[in-house]
Chains A and B, each alone.
Chain A
């Protein structure tokens, strides 16, 4: 079982280009032929000159299928217009390389690893050419598919050198290109899948078609922890097109699957099922009560997250105090493509097509459900219509495998939107409490942050637990959170306080939880950036100047992180300048306008500041966000077009959380059922987005989740500036009682 930190690292970066290197030595890969050059699993140069680049991550919209080959092509010196891009599948050529796509903070290592792999091939091509020409390798370079001997101008194509290059020793530490000479990285690169997407040819999980396959829909227990008592399949089996009705036990909730010739027949059959369900013991879960009680859980925050100085003594000595609590609700992932999986399980083998972020966990589930050895399992990782963390769970694959095993035919299980929204691993509801101490002159002397965190592994089906009946996991150790560097945003707060104490309370509920885009940052940063705004206003300080004063312009080690606070100060200053911060927000007749700011550092790799401009009607109705200015320093922007797209994507996600999204539970069931009542951002609600990339030249940081946490506090702070009303609960509502 993974540790919490491992799980979070694996889980977090739903849209981050970053991963954990699995440690396969460059020379371990055994090439298939001796006419092609393939010193490692990532690429091949054929005798024909064809260059194949494998994508060893999984695509869910974040652009890995474009970026990773660009990195390889850059360092190899390939002709981008002629490369062939192939999706890696688990095992075989990629044995030992995890395709699992998520994680964060390690992108610089990955970036180097791919570059090193391609540089090794390039140096072998150069060595072969230099040998053929009897010249120094230093006088040769790779350029758009050719090796060029500079002094003589002689050229040989990659293809003509492939065979002889393959006999050169694989360099263990090839020299990497000077980034100043990059011709692909740093340039705007369009998505390689664009043409397939716009013509409808792109194949997502739900589009997989296998000869002889049937379609299934599953009616699952209607309540959290519900159990199947009995079912009557007669009426369902009489629906034309229905072939089988089978119970399902391997998913998030027990259910009954109706298998038919097409999706519609399966849905009709499902509607005809008669099922008796049992509820779990104990009082049913009600989120309203749970949220009302959640801030008091902060009182039980005893797990150490980060302690600097003696904040308790400083607080006792303080001349005055101020405290506030904040609430973040349950949230759904709701990717546009609902969960689905296609499975063909036979007695001696299993072939699975899954839109998944995790080859590792999916294979583990297939092996568990089929009882087959891993060597008998073939998993095709297909394109995802969004992931956002939901597809780090393999429950939907386990169900498909179970059904196919039962009927001994290929089957595709497609969840309805209602299934997808109801049977989620939700973003946990969270409470945060901040207390500030001030001296007699009103200067800040101490900050105490008490947060709540839910164990995101507790509802993981992968360790074989029934999530509602299993005994609780052993209590966490007093310093486990600190060791895990979590919760994110609480542990790695970038600001310098005279004394700081961050503690955490474990909270659990009947709601299955999992990582959601940006994991814990959305809650911790909403609270922290709101609270800093509150104390800036209370002490008569400008909110940006107040933050800048908390940022010494140096690098600060926090556990494994080196936080360069000068970079955060710089994005704040740029945001201040770009928005005309010192001038009043635009006047709008009949409305009150204001600006608010938020800042954050994502895993010490990406530094952001955001300014929101909002207005509210004079009667305090109709909150509108007019403009979001976001200044991003995520180090080298490897593909600026991709970085800006992902930044806008994260902002839109954050807007949904700030203004619209939440999942309520009544009587052990989610209230929201579809996009008609789980509201998400639509085009007409979008503010103007002004996104600025500040290229600091530093190692690349993550750039998919990074803007999510800033949106809600920037808007809440702007709302306060406009109205004097402080809203401490998401989604932001003007008629809320203070938390």
Chain B
């Protein structure tokens, strides 16, 4: 056990835990931010995606020690009232089915749009290659990213 400091959604947290504890479990079990989901624990599904700065990362494969001192944004912190262009586009395209994988998808969409204001379909496929949705919302997801890009302009 050791003490670490991480910044999540603008708030600084001191976490006393195993340095090897994945950021995912820090968020969910210690900070009670359950919007970030566990899907595979192996970086293979994208359900646990959060923003590290402007970059989408898998919180299930980043240790607390590696996360120390860094600043993260989870789905809860993306916008105070769900007004981020990605969240609005997700609603307007009615993307979610079971919805479990969607916070991770929305975070990846937000990261994509910060790096690329007008992503092509191929850009979207590349950005989401590491994500899985078992409900099969992929076609609406693509449309939502295009729509979010419009909203961002």
Question: Residues of A at under 8 Å CB distance from B?
Answer: 59-63, 188, 190-191, 193-195, 197-204, 206-207, 209, 215, 240-241, 261-265, 268, 334-338, 383-388, 414, 416-418, 641, 645-646, 648-653, 655, 674-676, 680-684, 686, 689
- By beta carbon, the residue of chain B nearest A414 is B38
CB distance from B112 to the nearest CB of A (A): 12
Q: B interface, by DSSP: helix, strand, loop or mixed? A: loop
Q: Which of A191, A197, A262, A418 has the most CB of B within 10 A?
A: A197
How many angstroms from the CA of A418 to the CA of B21 in the assembled complex?
A: 18
- Residue in B22, B79, B133 with the greatest tally of chain A CB atoms within 10 Å: B133
B94 touches A641 (CB 8 A): yes
Provide the residues of chain B in CB contact with A645, threshold 8 Å.
94, 97, 137, 140
Sort A-B residue pairs by CB-CB distance and give the 6 closest, nearest first: A200-B35, A652-B136, A385-B100, A61-B98, A200-B75, A197-B99
What does the 1/0 interface line of B53-92 toward A look like (CB < 8 Å)? Answer: 0000000000000000000001110110110001100110
Q: Which residues of B have CB within 8 Å of A215?
A: 29
Residue contact A202 to B99, C-beta cutoff 8 Å: yes
Instruction: Pull 26 A–B residue pairs with CB atoms less than 8 Å apart, ordered by A.
Output: A61-B96, A61-B97, A63-B97, A197-B99, A198-B103, A206-B34, A206-B37, A209-B32, A240-B18, A262-B30, A263-B38, A264-B17, A264-B25, A336-B39, A336-B47, A337-B37, A383-B99, A385-B101, A386-B100, A414-B38, A418-B41, A653-B134, A675-B39, A675-B44, A682-B128, A682-B138
Q: Which of B18, B79, B97, B139 has the most chain A CB atoms closer than 10 A to its own CB?
A: B97
Chain B residue at smallest Cβ distance from A189: B94
Residue of B nearest to A262 (CB): B29
| B136 with A676: CB separation less than 8 A | no
Q: Report the bound CA distance from A680 to B141 in whole Å.
A: 17
Report the bound CA distance from A628 to B141 in whole Å: 18
**What residues of A have a CB within 8 angstroms of the CB of B128 in the complex?**
682-684
Known: A335-B98, A336-B45, A675-B132. A198 touches B139 (CB 8 A): no
| B134 partner residues in chain A, CB cutoff 8 A | 334-336, 386, 388, 653, 680
Tell me, in angstroms, the Cα distance from A64 to B145 when the chains sit together: 26
Contact of A199 with B82 at beta-carbon distance under 8 Å, contacts A336-B45, A681-B136, A683-B131 already known: yes
Report the separation of the CA atoms of residues A59 and B96 in the bound assembly, to the nearest whole angstrom. Answer: 12
Contact across chains for A193 and B25 when beta carbons are under 8 A apart? no
Chain B contacts to A: CB under 8 angstroms: 1, 17-18, 20-22, 25, 28-30, 32-42, 44-45, 47, 74-76, 78-79, 81-82, 86-87, 90-91, 94, 96-103, 106, 124-126, 128-129, 131-142
Nearest chain A residue, comparing its CB with the CB of B40 = A417
Residues of A within 8 A of B32 (CB): 209
Min Cβ gap B44→A in Å is 4
Contact partner of B90 (CB less than 8 A), chosen from A194, A201, A202, is A194
12 more contacts with CB within 8 A, not counting A264-B21, A384-B98, A683-B128, are A193-B99, A194-B91, A195-B82, A199-B78, A209-B34, A337-B100, A383-B98, A649-B135, A650-B136, A653-B136, A675-B39, A676-B44
Closest approach, in angstroms, between the C-beta of A335 and any C-beta of chain B?
6
How far does the Cβ of A641 sit from chain B's closest Cβ, in whole Å? 6
> How far is A262 from B34 in the complex, measured between Cα atoms in Å?
13
Are the C-beta atoms of B34 and A60 separated by less than 8 Å? no
Known: A204-B100, A264-B25. Contact between A682 and B40, CB under 8 A? no
* Chain A residues, CB < 8 A from B102: 197-198
Cβ-defined contact, B91 with A683, below 8 A: no
Question: With A and B bound together, what is the CA distance between A63 and B98 in angstroms?
Answer: 8
Closest Cβ neighbor of A60 among chain B residues:
B98
Within the complex, which residue of A268, A641, A683 is in contact with B129, where a contact is CB–CB below 8 Å? A683
**Are B94 and A201 touching (Cβ within 8 A)?**
no
Q: Which of B33, B44, B94, B141 contacts A194 (CB 8 A)?
A: B94
**Given A209-B32, A334-B134, A649-B97: A385 and B37 within 8 A (CB)?**
yes
When the two chains form their complex, are residues B45 and A338 in contact, meaning their CB atoms are under 8 A apart?
no
Residues of A within 8 A of B41 (CB): 416-418, 674
Contacts of B135 in A (CB 8 A): 61, 336, 386, 649, 652
* Across-interface contacts of B99 in A (CB, < 8 A): 61, 193, 197, 202, 383, 385
Nearest-neighbor residue (CB-CB) of B75 within chain A:
A200
Q: Are A652 and B132 in contact (CB under 8 A)?
A: no
Between A194, A336, A386, A676, the greatest number of chain B beta carbons within 10 A of the residue's beta carbon is seen for: A336
Report whether A200 and B96 are in contact in the complex, using a CB–CB cutoff of 8 Å.
no
Q: CA–CA, A414 to B60, complex, Å?
A: 15
Choose from A262, A335, A674 the contact partner of B42 (Cβ within 8 Å).
Answer: A674
Q: Note all chain B residues with C-beta closer than 8 A to A414.
A: 38
Expressed in whole angstroms, the Cα–Cα distance for A61 and B96 within the complex equals: 8
User: Beyond A190-B94, A336-B100, is A649–B30 a contact (Cβ under 8 Å)?
Assistant: no
Q: For B88, give the chain A residue with the smallest CB separation.
A: A198
Contact of A199 with B98 in the complex, beta carbons under 8 Å: no
Instruction: Determine if B28 and A263 form an interchain contact, defined as CB atoms under 8 angstroms apart.
Output: yes
Residues of B within 8 A of A200 (CB): 33-36, 74-76, 103
Q: How far is the CB of B113 from chain A (nearest CB, A)?
A: 15
CB-contact partner of B35 in A193, A195, A199, under 8 A: A199
State A199–B107 Cα separation when bound (angstroms). 10
Decide if A264 touches B98 in the complex (CB within 8 Å).
Answer: no
Q: How far apart are A105's CB and chain B's nearest CB, in angstroms?
A: 22
**With A262-B25, A336-B98, A682-B131 known to touch, is A190 a contact of B40 (CB < 8 Å)?**
no
Query: Cα distance A190–B34 when bound, in Å?
Result: 24
Known A207-B34, A209-B34, A417-B39; contact A648-B136, beta-carbon cutoff 8 A = yes
Query: Nearest Cβ distance between residue B46 and chain A, in whole angstroms?
Result: 9
Expressed in whole angstroms, the minimum distance between the Cβ of B80 and any Cβ of chain A is 9
Complex alpha-carbon distance, A607 and B30, angstroms: 50
A264 and B87 within 8 A (CB): no
Chain B residues near A337: list those with CB within 8 A: 37, 39, 98, 100
Complex CA gap A387/B17 in Å reads 34
B98's partner among A209, A385, A416, A681 (CB-CB below 8 A) is A385
Contacts of B132 on A, CB cut-off 8 Å?
A: 336, 675, 680, 682
CA–CA, A342 to B28, complex, Å? Answer: 15
| CB nearest to A63 among chain B residues | B97
By beta carbon, the residue of chain A nearest B32 is A209
B82 is contacted by which of A60, A61, A62, A198 (Cβ under 8 Å)? A198
> What is the bound-complex CA distance between A246 and B22, given in angstroms?
25
Interface centre among A198, A338, A383, A417 (most CB of B within 10 A): A198
Residues of B within 8 A of A684 (CB): 125-126, 128-129
- Using known A-B contacts A263-B25, A385-B99, determine if residue A686 contacts B35 with beta carbons closer than 8 Å: no
Question: Which residues of chain A are near B22, meaning CB under 8 Å?
Answer: 264
A424 to chain B, nearest CB (A): 14
Contact of B30 with A675 in the complex, beta carbons under 8 Å = no
